[in-house]
Amino acid sequence: MAAFAIERDIYIISDEIYEKLIYDGKSHFSIASISEEVKKHTILINGVSKAYAMTGWRIGYTASERSVAKTMGNIQSHATSNPNSIAQAATVAALNGPQAEVEEMRRAFERRRNYMVERIQNMELVSCLRPGGAFYVMMNIKAILGKHYKGVEITDADVFCSLLLDNAKVALVPGTGFGAPKFVRWSYANSIENIKKGLDRLEAFLAEIEE
């Protein structure tokens, strides 16, 4: 990808917001670190909402060549207002302060991921892969499509999520928006108690699916 971008002189936009939430002993690798030439073609995107649990504070940042950053700044200044001063100060404290709690949170996410993946893999009609980072599990519902729940045909992820929400009170994100209509997205950025409750409800829901 880097060679392709350099050859055609196009920019690489690298979203690295989950760089600290990686599992199984692996570490983050940025495409910008390949070479100085690749670095010059890269616009790195990051923020504090994931690793530092500052969701809603609306703090993000980019790193790029100075000329690119200046141009982005010119556009941004006419498009949005600035983040509030409290959020900015909190972000500086998060980025410059001790990182032990970030690692503690990463380990908690890893335990929740392992639990969720194991439960889903042991259920009928659904499956999933073990994600290597972030805090989402994409669950495959291909075996359910065409089947029925209380007389309603499950044609895609949107219908599945709607039925699960209405009947089991579990909210999932359809994969349709990600170009994956045969998948639904779980989040394990929640307590293990709530994750267990949600998976128990899923299991009961699946037991009622008919041909």
211 domain residue, yes or no: no
Q: Which of 73, 96, 119 is the last residue of a domain?
A: 96
CA pair distance 205, 132, nearest whole angstrom: 28
Those residues with Cβ within 8 angstroms of residue 181's Cβ, 6 or more apart along the chain or in another chain: 156, 157, 158, 174, 175
Q: What is the pLDDT of residue 145?
A: 96
The total of structural domains in the chain comes to 2
Same domain, 76 and 105: no
Same domain, 119 and 198: yes
120 domain residue, yes or no: yes
User: Are 180 and 139 a contacting pair, CB within 8 Å?
Assistant: no
Same domain, 81 and 159: no
Ranges of residues in the chain with a pLDDT under 70 are none
133 domain residue, yes or no: yes
37 domain residue, yes or no: yes
Q: Which of 65, 96, 127 is the last residue of a domain?
A: 96
User: Are 150 and 164 a contacting pair, CB within 8 Å?
Assistant: no
Those residues with Cβ within 8 angstroms of residue 58's Cβ, 6 or more apart along the chain or in another chain: 49, 83, 87
Same domain, 170 and 134: yes
Three-state SS annotation for 99-166 = CHHHHHHHHHHHHHHHHHHHHHHCCCCCEECCCCECCEEEEECCCCCCCEECCEECCCHHHHHHHHHH
pTM of the model: 0.83
Q: What is the pLDDT of residue 78?
A: 84
For residue 116, the domain's CATH number is 3.90.1150.10
Same domain, 137 and 193: yes
Quick one: tokens of 147?
């089947």
Q: Which residue has the tokens 């394990």?
A: 188
Q: What is the pLDDT of residue 58?
A: 87
Q: Which of 43, 76, 96 is the last residue of a domain?
A: 96
Same domain, 59 and 124: no
For residue 66, the domain's CATH number is 3.40.640.10
Same domain, 62 and 110: no
Same domain, 110 and 62: no
27 domain residue, yes or no: yes
Q: How does DSSP classify residue 210?
A: B
32 domain residue, yes or no: yes
Q: Which residue has the tokens 């993000």?
A: 60
Same domain, 140 and 198: yes
The domain of 61 spans 2-96
Same domain, 34 and 124: no
Same domain, 85 and 67: yes
Q: What is the pLDDT of residue 196?
A: 98
Same domain, 85 and 112: no
